[in-house]
Amino acid sequence: MLRWLLRWSLLLAGAMLIQVVALQPTAGLAETDRTTARQTMVALTPIVTDGLESPVFLTHAGDGSERLFVVEQPGRIRVLERGVLLSTPFLDITERVLSGGEQGLLGLAFHPDYRRNGCFFVNYNRKSDGATVLAEYRRGAVPTQASRDERVLMVVPQPYANHNGGMVVFGPDGYLYIGRGDGGSGGDPDNRAQNPHELLGKILRIDVDHGDLYGIPSDNPFAKEGGLPEIFAFGLRNPWRFSFDAKTGELWVADVGQNKWEEIDLVIRGGNYGWRVMEGFHCFDPALFCQTTGLRLPLLEYPHEKGRCSVIGGYVYRGSQLAFIKGDYLYGDFCTGEIFRYRKTGNDSDWRDPQLLLKTNRLISSFGEDESGELYVVDHKGGIYQLTGTVTREDRSVN
């Protein structure tokens, strides 16, 4: 079996041994004022530790209800209301979903005008053949339950079972952005990520408010010619999780690597992010080809060492509870449960090195964000945790 697929499947089944590290914040993360020396530590506060099956994402509807919605890989969306997991799913389409390994119900995005129109969008693998389906659903008569009526917008065949992508999110421009993996196997054998006439290995952008099924934004790079009009950016291996900075609108994409390197990219319209020419900053197969002209290299990379195996993209923190990490991009690793912070310190070219923020024993499958910009960690073993901070040392004598 292919190395990557085997590794992912074993991890998701819980068969890989993980070094258990207590949920303790790392030291040295402090905010100090002139009258008070105090050290604020980041921790994970449990919200749900029981009752979820293989959660892979968390988000909110943006409707002022403050409800959180948790995506379960087998095909359900669950509701968290004031920290309580409701017993009745918001949506249950398990009979339509092929789940296991990297397949399943993988993405959820609420329409920016959800409060009025009740529309939301899901991304899943179809049970009959494993193809990736993008579909529209609507809120039901009860706000915590959706109608099961489905409107399919897009079906993309998957040549292999792995690298399905699955993230869907609305950008600040009101368009829906969709993550598509390269179609699987190992090393992108058919070079789909670099092919502008394939939807795989891309970030897509569509207008769900116009057209028969959807419209094409006029400034998409291939809107008129040269490639498929849905494509926004290409050269990606498996953009499992990505997000927009709520302040700047920048698109942060964590692209899962092959055997050696994980990477994070700032993605722009029309950008080519290198796969399968590059893995991180490195030529993937120099004997095959390594022409880097025109490629956009990542912001950062990290190697597969110390048990690290798969980058999990997060968010630029814009909440209010953890002021000392405001503006930091937070991301994690699936295998080690580590959470990192990365910050722009000055101008656009001035970045500091990533720092380890927190060690956990979680199988981090995703991060999530609530209406206030506070961040959550999704544990594939069945837990939801909020990133919180506590003042651990205070000395009033400091002046």
Instruction: State the Cα–Cα distance between residues 113 and 107, nearest whole angstrom.
Output: 18
Confidence check: pLDDT of 339 > 80: yes
Q: How many domains does the chain have?
A: 1
Say if 115 falls within a structural domain: no
> What is the structure's pLDDT at 291?
87
Say if 208 falls within a structural domain: no
Domain residue limits at 347: 1-50+327-399
Say if 355 falls within a structural domain: yes
Mean pLDDT of 194-207: 98
* Contact assessment for residue 35 and residue 15, using Cβ atoms and an 8 Å cutoff: no
> What is the structure's pLDDT at 347?
64
Give the tens place of pLDDT for each residue, 109-165. 999 999 999 999 999 999 999 999 999 999 999 999 999 999 999 999 999 999 999
Q: What is the mean pLDDT of the chain?
A: 89
Confidence check: pLDDT of 223 > 80: yes
The first and second tokens of residue 167, run together, are 């993230």
Q: How far is CA 27 from the centre of its chain?
A: 27
Give the tens place of pLDDT for each residue, 309-322. 999 999 999 999 99
> What is the structure's pLDDT at 6?
37
Confidence check: pLDDT of 32 > 80: no
> What is the structure's pLDDT at 360?
96
Say if 283 falls within a structural domain: no
Place of tokens 């009860």: 142
Confidence check: pLDDT of 16 > 60: no
Say if 303 falls within a structural domain: no
The first and second tokens of residue 332, run together, are 């994690």
> What is the structure's pLDDT at 393?
53
Instruction: State the Cα–Cα distance between residues 346 and 316, nearest whole angstrom.
Output: 16
* Contact assessment for residue 122 and residue 209, using Cβ atoms and an 8 Å cutoff: no
> What is the structure's pLDDT at 353?
87
Mean pLDDT of 362-379: 98
Say if 214 falls within a structural domain: no
Residues facing residue 262 across a β-bridge = 302
Residue 100: phi and psi, rounded to 5, are 140, 145
Say if 203 falls within a structural domain: no
Say if 390 falls within a structural domain: yes
Give the tens place of pLDDT for each residue, 277-316. 999 999 999 887 898 999 999 999 999 999 999 999 999 9
